[in-house]
């Protein structure tokens, strides 16, 4: 039983957070997890906005049952926000873009794209690997699939 008034700190858990302070230091698995976790935090704030708007009698049950992600998808929550007159529609579009990125990190494989220069050195071809970039194929809201640089998506 948890006592009221007890503060649970970041070290008081069975699964520790990373000590890395810069997301660009993360490996692929950490980036995937970080992206999903950050968007889950945003979805929780969306749940708060929707709950406050509807002011249900049973606040906790509304959040944990009615807004449960297995019942109401994030896309459906965006539709609810669009119908709240006071909510900024441009912000909703930004959230949808972030959700597309989250879904790509959660469900798609990273592919590698290499830039190679080839020079002719007295009849011998010399191949030089200049860079390797991790990419994701992301579908935008129009249904178009575009290759996106994974590192740039994280920075955004």
Domains of the chain, by residue range, sit at 26-155
What Å distances lie between residue 102 and 28, 74, 107, 110, 150, CA to CA? Answer: 13, 11, 9, 13, 11
Residue 134's CB is within 10 A of a number of other CB atoms, namely: 16
Q: Tens of pLDDT along 69-109?
A: 999 999 899 999 999 988 888 888 888 888 888 888 888 88
Identify the pLDDT of residue 61: 94
The rounded distance, in Å, linking the Cα atoms of 70 and 149 is 30
Give pairs for 71-74: CB < 8 Å, separation 24+. Answer: 74/43, 74/46, 74/99
Identify the pLDDT of residue 72: 96
Contact 148, 138 (CB under 8 A): yes
> pLDDT grade, residue 7 (50/70/90)?
low
> pLDDT grade, residue 39 (50/70/90)?
very high
> pLDDT grade, residue 153 (50/70/90)?
confident
pTM above 0.85, yes or no: no
In this predicted structure, the answer to whether residue 1 has a pLDDT above a threshold of 60 is no
Query: Per-residue pLDDT averaged across 14-19, rounded?
Result: 75
Identify the pLDDT of residue 18: 77
Cα torsion 47, 48, 52, 57: sign = positive
**Average pLDDT of every residue of the chain:** 86
């Amino acid at each position: 039983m948890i006592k009221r008034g007890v503060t649970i700190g970041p070290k008081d858990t069975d699964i520790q957070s990373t000590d890395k302070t810069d997301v660009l230091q993360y490996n692929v698995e950490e980036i995937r997890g970080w992206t999903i976790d950050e968007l889950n935090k945003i979805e929780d704030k969306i749940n708060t906005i929707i709950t406050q708007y509807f002011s249900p009698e049973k606040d906790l049950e509304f959040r944990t049952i009615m807004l449960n992600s297995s019942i109401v998808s994030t896309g459906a929550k965006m539709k609810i926000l669009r119908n709240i007159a006071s909510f900024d529609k441009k912000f909703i579009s930004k959230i949808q873009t972030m959700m597309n990125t989250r879904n790509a990190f959660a469900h798609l494989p990273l592919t590698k794209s290499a830039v190679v220069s080839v020079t002719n050195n007295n009849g011998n071809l010399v191949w030089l690997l200049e860079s390797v970039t991790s990419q994701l194929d992301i579908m935008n809201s129009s249904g178009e699939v575009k290759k996106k640089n994974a590192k740039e998506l994280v920075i955004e």
